[in-house]
């Protein structure tokens, strides 16, 4: 059995050698370039959201939270940990202290009882709207200007794209009781 294996390996090698000879060239050097994104090089590229060295200031409000300055962290991502969610609206106008909603900004309007959780009734109307916007987002070409406008209607986590991550966030806030 070992002899048969060596014989097959030798035949395979002999059949590959003519291809190797045909691929040979007089040049002894081959040039190639590889582009990688490096955090900290003052160039926003690849999966980087920002660059700390550029000194650009952002605000939590830009991501749907209460206005507060934020900065780029050492991993070239926005530091949103200190951002607070928008306060729920007091529909009764009785000027009581209202707890802050734990829902992402895009979902607050659908929380009719302002409890920070979507009931199945609230979820049904919200998800119908979200899926419609998500469908519009995914069919638009990348360079289409409308894509950013549509993303504002289905991008729950403010990453400027509508995808399964946004859907999983929605499911997290669904009351399954």
What tokens does 55 get?
A: 């000194």
94-129 pLDDT tens trace: 544 444 556 777 788 788 887 777 788 888 888 888
Average pLDDT across the chain, whole number: 74
pLDDT at residue 76, rounded to an integer: 85
pLDDT at residue 102, rounded to an integer: 66
For the residues 67-92, what does the mean pLDDT come to?
71
Q: Residue 127 and residue 166: Cα distance in Å, rounded? A: 11
The SS3 call for residue 59 is strand
Cα 165-55-50 angle, rounded to 5 deg: 20
pTM value > 0.75? no
pLDDT of 17 over the 80 cut: no
Q: Which of 129, 174, 126, 158 is nearest to 62 (CA)?
A: 158
Task: Give me the phi and psi of 85, to 5 degrees please.
Answer: -70, 160
Residue 146 near residue 140 (C-beta atoms within 8 A):
yes
53-65 pLDDT tens trace: 787 778 887 777 7
Cα 86-110-115 angle, rounded to 5 deg: 65
- Kindly state the DSSP code that residue 118 receives in the 8-state scheme: B
- Of the listed ranges 37-46, 68-77, 84-93, 168-177, the one predicted with least confidence: 84-93
């Amino acid at each position: 059995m070992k002899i048969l294996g060596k014989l097959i390996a030798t035949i395979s090698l002999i059949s590959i050698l003519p291809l190797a000879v045909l691929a040979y060239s007089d040049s002894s050097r081959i040039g190639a370039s590889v582009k990688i994104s490096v955090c900290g090089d003052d160039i926003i590229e690849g999966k980087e959201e920002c660059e700390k060295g550029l000194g650009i200031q952002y605000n939590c409000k830009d991501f749907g939270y209460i206005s507060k300055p934020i900065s780029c962290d050492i991993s070239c991502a926005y530091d949103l940990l200190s951002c607070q969610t928008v306060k729920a609206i007091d529909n009764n106008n009785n000027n009581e202290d209202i707890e802050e909603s734990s829902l992402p900004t895009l979902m607050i309007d659908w929380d009719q009882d302002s409890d920070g959780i979507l009931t199945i009734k609230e979820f049904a109307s919200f998800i119908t709207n979200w899926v419609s916007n998500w469908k519009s987002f995914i069919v638009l070409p990348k360079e289409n200007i409308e894509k950013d406008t549509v993303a504002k209607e289905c991008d729950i986590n403010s990453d400027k794209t509508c995808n399964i991550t946004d859907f999983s966030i929605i499911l997290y806030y669904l009351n399954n009781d």
